[in-house]
């Protein structure tokens, strides 16, 4: 039986209380919400926090709010709530796509978007989704609030820019007209980590050409989005030749390693093929929203 190392426990009553607890107990404290990433690591003793700060009572961080130019999502919002949201499906369909293939209903009912991003697992789906959408992370600490791009927020595998006394409070997703998105994933079995996955967002100009686009690929050691996609697609109409070029660019940009999920050549092939599929669906959805 795997048993975590001894730890103390405190339940926060609000955001300010959670920050105070993190400040009091220092860098050896960890925040817990769903716990589906942290608890297995504690059982394996890969994580040995001295304090767990439970934030499940912080209902003020559980929300999905649509504004004119952005969608705001609280860090405590559960995967199941994102999957069930009609606003998310309409405005940010890449999130709905990804949520369909994240783990299983048990995990989706408890796991949170904030926990997923703070785990910073290189094979985690929502990190790629947030990269592609240009999400902004909002953190609060004793010194107040600050915002970070995803590039600033994720500084390495299993590492974020959050200070030990800071709490991720929300994600902000910008909205643009004639823009849509999609996510494609290959996994060994339902609910598994990705062998490879790809997400894309595309904005169409009034003449039907692509104004700009972003592509991210999961689980292949790619930091942020695929470089050069914007230059490749700008001013060109969607089409199979363009999608093939984008796929080749993504395959070249990634740096997969051979493991139990497959060899390097297979993963590069998936990066190519899934990029084509995601960009094709994103453009089709953007065209549909333009016609609507």
Alpha-helical segments (H) within the chain = 15-25, 38-43, 79-84, 86-91, 93-100, 105-110, 113-119, 125-133, 150-153, 229-233, 240-253, 264-291
The pLDDT tens digits of the residues spanning 222-237 come to: 989 999 999 999 999 9
Question: Are the C-beta atoms of 205 and 211 separated by less than 8 Å?
Answer: yes
Question: Are the C-beta atoms of 93 and 180 separated by less than 8 Å?
Answer: yes
Catalogue all structural domains in the chain, each as residue range(s) with its CATH number: 8-53 (3.30.43.10), 61-174 (3.30.465.10), 179-291 (3.30.390.50)
Question: Are the C-beta atoms of 170 and 58 separated by less than 8 Å?
Answer: no
3-state DSSP helix/strand/coil % of the chain, to nearest 5: 40, 25, 35
For residues 131 and 220, give the distance between their C-alpha atoms in angstroms, rounded to a whole number: 14
pLDDT at 290: 52
Using the predicted structure, report yes or no on whether residue 271 has a pLDDT greater than 50. yes
The pLDDT tens digits of the residues spanning 53-66 come to: 999 999 999 999 99
Q: Quickly state the pLDDT bin for 1 (edges 50, 70, 90).
A: low
Q: What is the mean pLDDT of the chain?
A: 94
Q: Quickly state the pLDDT bin for 35 (edges 50, 70, 90).
A: confident
Question: Are the C-beta atoms of 69 and 77 separated by less than 8 Å?
Answer: no
Q: Tell me the average pLDDT across 172-187.
A: 97
Q: Between residues 2 and 69, which one has the greater pLDDT?
A: 69
For residues 139 and 143, give the distance between their C-alpha atoms in angstroms, rounded to a whole number: 10
Q: 100-109, 137-146, 175-184: which range is least confident on average?
A: 100-109
Q: Tell me the average pLDDT across 136-142.
A: 98
């Amino acid at each position: 039986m795997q048993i975590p190392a001894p730890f103390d426990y405190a339940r926060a009553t609000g955001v300010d209380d959670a920050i105070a607890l993190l400040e009091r107990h220092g860098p050896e404290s960890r925040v817990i919400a769903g716990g589906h990433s942290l608890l297995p690591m504690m059982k394996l003793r890969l994580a040995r926090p001295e304090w767990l700060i439970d934030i499940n009572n912080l209902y003020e961080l559980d929300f999905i709010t649509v504004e004119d130019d952005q969608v705001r999502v609280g860090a405590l919002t559960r995967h199941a709530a994102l999957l069930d949201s009609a606003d998310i499906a309409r405005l940010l369909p890449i999130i709905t796509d990804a949520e369909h293939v994240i783990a299983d209903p048990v995990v989706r009912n408890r796991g949170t978007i904030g926990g997923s991003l703070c785990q910073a697992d290189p094979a985690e789906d929502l990190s790629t989704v947030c990269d592609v959408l240009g999400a902004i992370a909002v953190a609060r600490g004793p010194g107040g609030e600050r915002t970070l791009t995803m590039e600033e927020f994720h500084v390495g595998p299993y590492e974020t820019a959050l200070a030990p006394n800071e709490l991720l409070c929300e994600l902000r997703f910008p909205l643009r007209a004639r823009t849509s998105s999609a996510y494609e994933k290959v996994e060994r079995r339902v609910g598994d980590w990705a062998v490879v996955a790809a997400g894309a967002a595309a904005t169409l100009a009034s003449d039907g050409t692509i104004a700009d686009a972003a592509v991210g690929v999961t689980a292949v050691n790619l930091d942020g989005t695929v470089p050069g996609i914007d230059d490749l697609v700008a001013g060109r109409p969607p089409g199979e030749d363009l999608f093939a070029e984008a796929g080749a660019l993504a395959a070249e940009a990634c740096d997969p390693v051979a493991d139990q999920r497959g060899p390097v050549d297979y993963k590069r092939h998936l990066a190519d093929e899934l990029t084509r599929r995601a960009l094709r669906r994103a453009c089709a959805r953007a065209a549909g929203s333009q016609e609507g």
